[in-house]
Amino acid sequence: MKAWLHHETGGPGVLRLEDCPKPVPGKGEVLVRNHAVGLNPVDWKFILWGHPAWTWPHIPGVDGAGEVEALGEGVHHLRPGARVAYHTDLIRQGSFAEYTVIPARAAIPLPEALSFVAAAALPCPGLTALQAVAKVPLPPGAQVMVTGASGAVGGGLLQLARARGWIVHAVASASQTGRVLRLGAASVTDYRHSGWREDWAKRIGDRPLEAVFDMVSGEHAASLAPLLAANGHLVCIQDRQETAPLPAFTTTISLHEVGLNGLHAHGNDAQWGRLVAEGATMAADMATGLFDPQILEVSPFDDLPAALARLKAGPNPGNRVVTL
C-alpha cells in the first residue's frame, strides 16, 4: 500500500510517500480501506514531538473513514464492506495510508447517505466535544462559555450544547461571528479585545456562568475560573489544571480534563460502546443536516503534507480532510 510516513521527527515536510506492507488485523481488530482522512492538530504535533512507543518508520494520523476490508479474530459485530469512521490510538500506525488497522471497538458505523469526507471530519473533533459536554450535568437554560469556539472542536461543542438547551456564549475571532452564531452561540466575544474578561466579570452580575469549556490552555482556563457560579464546572480540552485555580471552600468549582486518546489505553469496552453509539448518532445527524461537519478544505492524498502544513499555520474555522 501507499502511506505517508516519517523516519524522524519534524514538521509536515518530513513526511514521505512510500510503499509499505499492507497490514493484517489481529485479535479484536479490523482492517479499514481508507476513503478519507481527517486532519487534526494532534497529527502535526506528534510528528514534531514523536512518541517513545512508536516503531519507526511511523505512519501518523488518528482519524479516517472507509470500508472494512478484513476482520481479525473475535470480531463479530462488523462485516467486510461495512462503512465506518474511526479514531485510532496515536501510538499505533495511523490513518495517513491506503489501509489502517484499528481496534474494532473504535469503529463508528456510518449511514449510506453520509459521505466519507463528512465522516472523516467526525471522530477526533466530534468525540472530543461529546466527552466534554458529558462532563457537565446541566439543565436546559444553563449559561455556559466556550473559548476557541471557531475551531473544529468548538464548533462541535456549540452544536451539542445548543441541542441540550444551554445558552452558549462563544469567545472567538470577530471574523467568525456569523458562523459561530449559526452553530449555536447566543453571543460572541472577540478574544482580541484585551479587556473582555473584565467585561464579562461585570456582565455576569447575579447569574455567573455554570460551565466554561476552554480550548486554549490550562493557564487560560484558570483565568476564567472567577466567572463561574458556585459549584460550576471548568472543563479543559487543552491542558489541565495541576493546582486548584481558586481558594479552597469558596465557589468549590469542579475541574475536568478531556483527553480522547487516553480512552484507548484506559477505557473499557462499555465506555467505547457508549461513545461509538453517540458517534453513530452524530453521523446520522450529519447525514440529515442536523449536525454540521464543518468542512473547511478537501485535498487529494498526494497533497497531504501541504494540507497538514496549512492546518499547522491556521486559522482553522472547521475541518480539513484528505481523500483517497
The arithmetic mean of pLDDT across residues 316-320, rounded, is 96
Task: Locate 319 and state its grid cell.
Answer: 475541518
pLDDT of residue 144: 98
- Inside any domain, residue 55: yes
Question: Please, what's the b/e burial string for 45-70 (b: 16 or more CB within 10 A of its CB; e: otherwise)?
Answer: ebbeeeeeebeeebbbbbbbbbbbbb
CATH code where residue 245 lies: 3.40.50.720
**141 and 112 belong to one structural domain:** no
Q: CA-CA-CA-CA torsion for 222, 184, 163, 197, nearest 10 degrees?
A: 20
**Pairing, β 107-109 against β 295-300:** unpaired
Query: Helix, strand or coil for residue 35?
Result: strand
pLDDT at 87 over 80: yes
pLDDT of residue 207: 81
**Counted domains in the chain:** 2
Cα angle 311, 12, 34; round to 5:
75
Confidence class of residue 291 from pLDDT cuts 50, 70 and 90? Answer: very high
pLDDT at 146 over 80: yes
Domain that holds residue 96: 2-124+262-323
Task: Locate 304 and state its grid cell.
Answer: 497531504
Residue ending a domain, among 221, 241, 257, is 257
pLDDT at 206 over 80: no
CATH code where residue 74 lies: 3.90.180.10
Confidence class of residue 142 from pLDDT cuts 50, 70 and 90? Answer: very high
- List pLDDT tens digits, range 13-56: 999 999 999 999 999 999 999 999 999 999 999 999 999 999 99
Question: Please, what's the b/e burial string for 176-188 (b: 16 or more CB within 10 A of its CB; e: otherwise)?
Answer: bbebbeebbbeeb
pTM: 0.96
Task: Locate 71 and state its grid cell.
Answer: 476482520
Confidence class of residue 203 from pLDDT cuts 50, 70 and 90? Answer: confident
The arithmetic mean of pLDDT across residues 228-256, rounded, is 96
